[in-house]
Amino acid sequence: MVISVVMAAFILFQILDDGGDLTHWIYKKYPNMFKKIKGIVEESVTGVHRLYQLSKAGKLCVPAMNVNDSVTKQKFDNLYCCRESILDGLKRTTDMMFGGKQVVICGYGEVGKGCCAALKAMGSIVYVTEIDPICALQACMDGFRLVKLNEVIRQVDIVITCTGNKNVVTREHLDRMKNSCIVCNMGHSNTEIDVASLRTPELTWERVRSQVDHVIWPDGKRIVLLAEGRLLNLSCSTVPTFVLSITATTQALALIELYNAPEGRYKQDVYLLPKKMDEYVASLHLPTFDAHLTELSDEQAKYLGLNKNGPFKPNYYRYLLLCCNVK
């Protein structure tokens, strides 16, 4: 009742969301308010998926900006940040060594690529599971063994989910894991690991330290569950301020773009961040490295058919990083 009174008196201009929960709540609870906002900016796979579902059903009555698929978000937050935070999170919680450990990483998107690169560089034996044949082929070309989870679940020392999906690791998988297997999630949703299935009378939970639980089977076998299946990089490690700056700048520019856009530029649909903004975010952070951009001459710009100030790549261009090049 109090929330309803406060919200009724509150003027909402825009929504900045991570996961789609706030958007979904306002859409369901305050539909009239939802129709009047100037736009939504969403930065997660799950949240973007929910926006596209609303759009497909004809229920998205405001423009939305998909920041998750912007280059600056995908590469710096998802790939480069997770490449470091996976090691940080595992070290802080388990104090383990990575050399020679067998690891299966579920999903070879940007987060999965970062995790694979980091663990391979530390001497781990890395397996990958993937549903997308293109990502699967990338994993193979980067030197990782593509498997089904059932094929390696008995032998691996660490299981890491990076899909954004649900029930990627089920109770059946958990039952078959070896003693002391470490299980954690780097994807967006906390539904990737079926943690609810572990809360049964025959299993014993033992809190070892903050964010670390041992789940013990009747025969004495135990698995090490980190952050109760929530995001390891947010729960058990730090996020570098440099990456936060890139992500926050991208989100802020998207909000400004939606708010200041003339009527009719953005309709009731989901849009990708304009390439020019992606490039601008990157250029703002180059001085951190004392980096000096090369400038096109007029002749070169004309030859390539580009504006000297960008954008330098078409919207369909994909910036690729091969994990096998990371030493």
Strand ordering across the sheet containing 182-185: 145-146, 125-129, 102-106, 158-161, 182-185, 222-226, 212-216, 204-209
The whole-number pLDDT of residue 11 equals 60
Beta-strand relationship, 270-272 and 64-66:
parallel
The whole-number pLDDT of residue 7 equals 47
Q: Which helix (H) or strand (E) holds 6?
A: helix 2-8
Tell me, which fold does domain 78-236 have in CATH? Rossmann fold (3.40.50)
Tokens encoding 190: 């906390």
Stated pTM of the model? 0.81
What is the mean pLDDT for each group of 10 consecutive residues in the chain (327 residues)? Answer: 41 83 90 89 88 92 91 84 93 95 96 96 98 96 97 98 93 97 89 95 96 96 96 86 90 92 91 90 94 94 92 78 42
Letter string b/e over residues 7-37, b meaning 16 or more CB atoms within 10 A of that residue's CB: eeeeeeebbbbbbbeebeebbeebeeebeeb
Question: Do 251 and 67 meet the contact criterion of CB atoms below 8 Å apart?
Answer: yes
Task: Considering the chain, tell me which residue range(s) the CATH 3.40.50.1480 domain(s) occupy.
Answer: 14-66+241-304
Task: Considering the chain, tell me which residue range(s) the CATH 3.40.50.720 domain(s) occupy.
Answer: 78-236
Looking at 2.40.30.10, 2.30.30.110, 3.40.50.1480, 3.30.540.10, the CATH number of the domain 14-66+241-304 comes to 3.40.50.1480
Q: What is the CA radius of gyration of the chain?
A: 22
